[in-house]
Amino acid sequence: MRETPLFLDGPSGPLEALYLDVPDARGVVLICHPNPVQGGTMLNKVVSTLQRAVRDMGFSTLRFNYRGTGASAGSHDMGTGEVDDAEAAASWLRAQHPQLPLTLCGFSFGGFVAAALAGRLENQGVAVDKLFMVAPAVQRLQAPEHLPEQVTLTVIQPEQDEVIDPEVVYAWSAALQRPHELLKVAECGHFFHGKLPELKDLVQPRL
């Protein structure tokens, strides 16, 4: 099954995206990519691994480039703007499959985007089934209203992460006043070099 390239209407203009419509899908998954200022795009190998992992479990998928990334219009905002972009992508995906549950995945900066989007959607009365935050930029999540209360939350953190300080993620997790699962990946750096199969193995049973 190959993803279909397309452009979605975004708040700053068209957003470049890749969409996979799985027959008889169990649900839909939106995947948010890492920091565009540091070269992050929807083709990042961790994002690609997440896409394949959820695809193989029977989910339709959408990944997209934030504003100013790849062929997406606009310029980087590094905050609310990227969450706005993700909200537009989620709206498009939900419109294709209004009856199916929505799962959000995000890697690094995308972990912040996915979490902030999940909180925003919950405030709007839109249900999010599951949220996966992979090596997430939790320091960007300052406000308590960012995190949704109802979603099933899984945090996956490499123990040798050279980009996101693991101790910051562990402390954030320990202070979180809601049920969630923190999974630590031993001998693993930020980009999961040599550990992508392990990432897939952690995500799939939790879908």
Q: Regarding beta strands 102-107 and 59-64, do their DSSP bridges make them parallel or antiparallel, or are they unpaired?
A: unpaired
Return averaged pLDDT per consecutive 10 residues of the chain, 207 residues in all.
97 98 97 96 98 98 98 94 97 97 98 96 95 96 76 98 97 93 98 98 98
pTM over 0.95: yes
The pLDDT value recorded for residue 142 is 74
At 146 the pLDDT is 73
CA distances from 70 to 37, 65, 75 (A): 12, 6, 11
* Topology of the domain covering 4-206: Rossmann fold (3.40.50)
pLDDT at position 143: 64
How much is the pLDDT for 30?
98
- Residue 29 CA to residue 51 CA, distance in Å, equals 8
